Amino acid sequence: MKVRSSVFASFILMFEVIGIALFLRGFFPVPVKSSFSSKNKLSDLPAEPLTGSSPNSSRLPHPLFKKVVVMLVDALREDFVFGPSGHMYMPYTRHVVERGSSHSFVAKARPPTVTMPRIKALTTGSIPGFIDVVMNLNSPALLEDNLIWQAKTAGKRIVFYGDDTWVRLFPKHFMEYDGTTSFFVSDYTEVDNNVTRHLDSTLKRDDWDILILHYLGLDHIGHISGPHSSLIQPKLLEMDDILKKIHGALILKEAEGSLPYLLVLCGDHGMSETGSHGGSSEPEVNTPLVLISSAFKRKGKYSGHTEVVVEQVDLTPTLALGLGLPISQNSVGRVIPVVLEETSLRDQLRFLHLNGHQLSCLLKDSMSNYEKDAGFEQFRVAEKAHGNWMKLYIEGNTSEVLTNMGKKVLKQYLEALAAMSSALSKQLGKYDMYSMIAGMMFVFQLLLVLLLAMPEALSGAAAVDLPVLSALLSLPFYLLCLLLASVHVLVCTSAESSCYFCSLSWGLVFAAVAFSSTLFCILISIATRRLPLGPKIQGKSPLRSSGGDWSLSELDVLLLAGTVGHTLSLASSSFVEEEHQIWYFLLSTLCLAVFQDVCRKYFREQRGSGDEEDHILPSKDCHSSAHAKAGIYSEKWLALATPPFTLLCCRLLRSLNQTGVQWAHLPDVGHWLNSSENKMVLSLLAAFCLVLIYFLVQRRCSWVSKVALALGLLGVYSYRAAVGNVLFPWQRYGQTMSKGTVEARFVYVFVLGILFTGTKDLLRSQIITADAKLKSRGLWEIYSGLVLLVSLLFRAHNLPMLCCCLLIQTLMAQFIWKKLYYDAAQTTIMHYWFGQAFFYFQGNSNNIATIDISVGFVGLEGYVEAPAIFLTALSTYAGPLLWACHLVCYLSSERRSPVAVSHGCYCLALLRSVPAAAYIVLVTVLRYHLFIWSVFSPKLLYESMHLLLTTCICLFFNTMEQSVSKS
């Protein structure tokens, strides 16, 4: 069965998306929620260890605190409180930390540092996985054992104000609540005022036990303008005043002789140097934790502040024991020992024993050989020593020996808790290996089919002969089906834990088994066809040899070696973190190789033909011949200047946005442009870039689209001026005209108009009349509409990146790809390389923290999920998308054949399949290494999203191929 290359590539990509989705479902398993009956209860708590028997063996310590107020400031970085600017940002908090009755810590949050997983960590004590990043958009109810459920079950009255993620996670748990939308990042005032307006009345009342306040304004400011914005200090001062108000009210309400109150100031995560979060950099994972209570000793003279480092999950058992509640069943945290210092030694040992018992039970459920774990053995030794101490204590022994013995047991407990907590943290990466291996084999088979079919797909016929019928009728097909079905039954009936693949219906499983068996038979058939002297394909590039044998030019070798080298580099976590350096190097090398081809064309190959052309030229038309010579001369020097100019642009763009992990904190040109003293420079640069974008894009558009594009770009500048990024000549510093909603919607109108005009022209060229020029104009108009939308979403300092992208595309298309007659495969790989490099030029990385979610709310007055996700994804992948769309437009021009379009689609599919397949094989092999969670997991999400984008582009290629065929 013969299939066009583009159709074949599109189907392969679609099935690869299914395979990678199955792999990701195994790598990021949805956690199994505990039922209510499995939650810890007070009646289930162990007895106090004691050698012998005693009626006091079940004694529980009294609660440490009467009421707790948790003030959670979203994206509160550790240095905002403890850093050199802490006295200026939060003076009252810093005073309490240094002189008041408080304990302060640096609480480390585990990646992913996103709000919903962090709330889960604070309430359950467990460490969520990267699947929670996706679930953060629509948080389901939390059924796992947690602190909020335990408090409600114990009769505690809970009041909550703030991020509505809490309301979704804990429905019907709060006596009173008022949730605010967390995703509308353009609002950083009302979102906090909605919390503060309840404070005065709530603090005067005495009908609550736990008050939770989640402030979002600081996080929104970070997403909008970064951690060094002028808006940061006023917001932190506002938070400081609120903490002062709460602290003063608690002191006044604290009655003599009653249990003290506890005020907790914490952050769910930090903030990167770009103002985002989600990754594992120090500013993102380091958060302040301040515990304020009259139960703590008041500090004396301040003599240099040093913060103790704890895990963020340690707050969960500390609050649970402080309120007299059971510790959550899945908590891996350990109680903070300094909080227990003012209690008796017996109570301290009892608190640590309860924490150790909970961790040991969790260790039993997580490890088959838990008895050999060092932490478990230490806990058993400490528990036995605790029992001996209790026997002496109950007998009335009050000697110093008993005190020293108790301190020794205390130390043993603390060491055991640390060891068990560390062991449990390492056991949290549970994988559904069956689903992972099934997805890996599925994707790997598809990649092999792509590689084996490459000679046919890139031949002149641009078609692949697939022996589907012979594969279905062969004996190995039925044997494979039987074998795979047997393996599936064996795994699903003998596996200790449930697998996602086993939960699918038998119809879907049989279809997957049949498809995989067919694919394997096709692989064998194509491979045997290639092993003998297979058909040799003639290269079409003039830079290749003119013979019939397949030959590779120097540029082909570079493109092949670069693509394979990048794939091999994914085996190193350092190369994954700094992947942009690889693409910058490859792009620079590509420019030099193209420059060599240009020199060869205009100097070495034309040296011998120049004299002959002088004799052939007719003398009667000297003026026209001189004009033609001048045109050829200028064209030659423009072609020679294009690679060095591209190299210069790429070097300048590298300095625009620091990215990666190791050097992301260093200042760059973007920081300099965004500073308040350079706002005029940024304004002039933005205006110049928008004008240049107009002249580069409008050339192939109709006059209606040209007018719409001009007005739309004017609206882009107006939007940036409205939000305060740039200035109009008549606008004063610090003056903003509006929130920018009207201006952004003004641009959206013209974007939709241009897209509608382009789509109309494209449909007319395909349905009504086979007009190649109309079809080409429709494609370029759609492309111009996309450029206008991207220019609106890009930050003002990133407009030069968009400008350079369009300029390089124009020069390369005019003077390189056409003049040097590069074929579709070479052109596709170059577009792919440029797209990857521009993904990093705009400040992105393999770190989740570099995703700018603020662009999802441009022109919106509230949180609307669908457009927010679309705009965020479009802005993140703008670089690869613009280059892929330019490739479609270029290959579908009137001078190109359907074969070129097929070749482009096939090469694009191959370029995305090779790294994606290699990467999931690598992750499967290295699945037990902890750095996968902080380095490889975000890259997996990036690869899967990029593969989905490539699938959409390749499907559009098929549409364009039909258009070219009809033309």
Residue 36's pLDDT is what?
A: 38
Quick one: pLDDT band at residue 151, thresholds 50, 70, 90?
very high
Torsion angle in degrees (nearest 10) through CA of 119, 120, 123, 125: -120
Q: Do residues 780 and 758 touch, judged by C-beta distance below 8 A? A: yes
700: Cβ contacts below 8 Å, ≥ 6 apart: 776, 777, 780, 781, 784
Domains of the chain: 1-29+432-529+908-966 (no CATH), 68-325 (3.40.720.10), 338-428 (no CATH), 677-729+737-894 (no CATH)
Q: How far apart are CA 827 and CA 903, in angstroms?
A: 10
**Inter-CA distances, 717 with 721, 724, 841, Å:** 6, 11, 22
Quick one: pLDDT band at residue 300, thresholds 50, 70, 90?
low
Strand partners, 177: 160
Residue 129's pLDDT is what?
A: 66
Residue 232's pLDDT is what?
A: 92
Quick one: pLDDT band at residue 548, thresholds 50, 70, 90?
very low
242-292 tens-digit pLDDT: 999 999 999 888 776 678 899 999 999 998 887 888 777 788 889 999 999
For the segment 190-212, the average pLDDT, to the nearest whole number, is 91
Please report, as a single letter, which amino acid is at residue 473. Answer: L
Quick one: pLDDT band at residue 144, thresholds 50, 70, 90?
confident
Q: In what order do the strands lie in the sheet with 102-108?
A: 176-180, 158-163, 210-215, 67-73, 261-266, 286-292, 102-108, 308-311
Residue 114 has pLDDT above 90, yes or no: no
Residue 632 has pLDDT above 80, yes or no: no
Torsion angle in degrees (nearest 10) through CA of 201, 205, 211, 213: 10
From 304-318, 344-358, 422-436, 844-858, the region with the lowest mean pLDDT: 422-436
298: Cβ contacts below 8 Å, ≥ 6 apart: 99, 100, 101
Give me the percent of the chain exceeding a pLDDT of 90. 36
| pLDDT: which is higher, 157 or 741 | 157
Entry field: residues in the chain: 967
Quick one: pLDDT band at residue 919, thresholds 50, 70, 90?
confident
Q: How far apart are CA 813 and CA 27, in angstroms?
A: 42
Residue 537 has pLDDT above 50, yes or no: no
From 44-48, 386-390, 432-436, 729-733, the region with the lowest mean pLDDT: 729-733
565-577 tens-digit pLDDT: 999 888 877 788 8
Residue 322's pLDDT is what?
A: 92
| pLDDT: which is higher, 243 or 668 | 243
For the segment 508-518, the average pLDDT, to the nearest whole number, is 92
Quick one: pLDDT band at residue 734, thresholds 50, 70, 90?
low
Q: Do residues 38 and 958 touch, judged by C-beta distance below 8 A? A: no
Residue 138's pLDDT is what?
A: 54
Residue 46's pLDDT is what?
A: 81
Torsion angle in degrees (nearest 10) through CA of 544, 591, 700, 826: 30
Residue 32's pLDDT is what?
A: 38
For the segment 508-532, the average pLDDT, to the nearest whole number, is 87
User: Helix axis angle, 878-891 relative to 799-812, nearest 10°?
Assistant: 20
Instruction: Look up the pTM and report it.
Output: 0.77
Residue 465's pLDDT is what?
A: 87
From 17-21, 337-341, 778-782, 893-897, the region with the lowest mean pLDDT: 893-897
Quick one: pLDDT band at residue 14, thresholds 50, 70, 90?
very high
Q: Is 506 left (phi over 0), alpha (psi -120 to 50) or beta?
A: alpha
For the segment 56-69, the average pLDDT, to the nearest whole number, is 80
From 198-207, 238-247, 679-688, 926-935, the region with the lowest mean pLDDT: 926-935
Residue 33 has pLDDT above 60, yes or no: no
Residue 525 has pLDDT above 70, yes or no: yes
Two tokens at 465?
């002969």
Average pLDDT, the chain: 83
Residue 729 has pLDDT above 80, yes or no: no
Residue 550's pLDDT is what?
A: 53
Own/partner long-range contacts of 667-672 (Cβ < 8 Å, ≥24 apart): 669/797, 670/795, 670/797, 670/798, 670/843, 671/228
* 652 class by beta-carbon count within 10 Å (0-12 exposed, 13-18 middle, 19+ buried): middle
Residue 738 has pLDDT above 70, yes or no: no
For the segment 98-103, the average pLDDT, to the nearest whole number, is 89
Q: How far apart are CA 817 and CA 811, in angstroms?
A: 9
Q: How many CB atoms lie within 10 A of CB 758?
A: 23
Quick one: pLDDT band at residue 6, thresholds 50, 70, 90?
confident
Q: How far apart are CA 692 and CA 576, in angstroms?
A: 35
For the segment 206-230, the average pLDDT, to the nearest whole number, is 89
Quick one: pLDDT band at residue 209, thresholds 50, 70, 90?
very high
Q: What is the DSSP string of 50-71?
A: -SS--TTTT--PPPS-SEEEEE
597-623 tens-digit pLDDT: 999 888 775 555 554 444 434 444 555
Residue 362 has pLDDT above 60, yes or no: yes
417-427 tens-digit pLDDT: 999 988 887 76
Query: Closest by alpha carbon to 704, among 634, 645, 760?
Result: 760
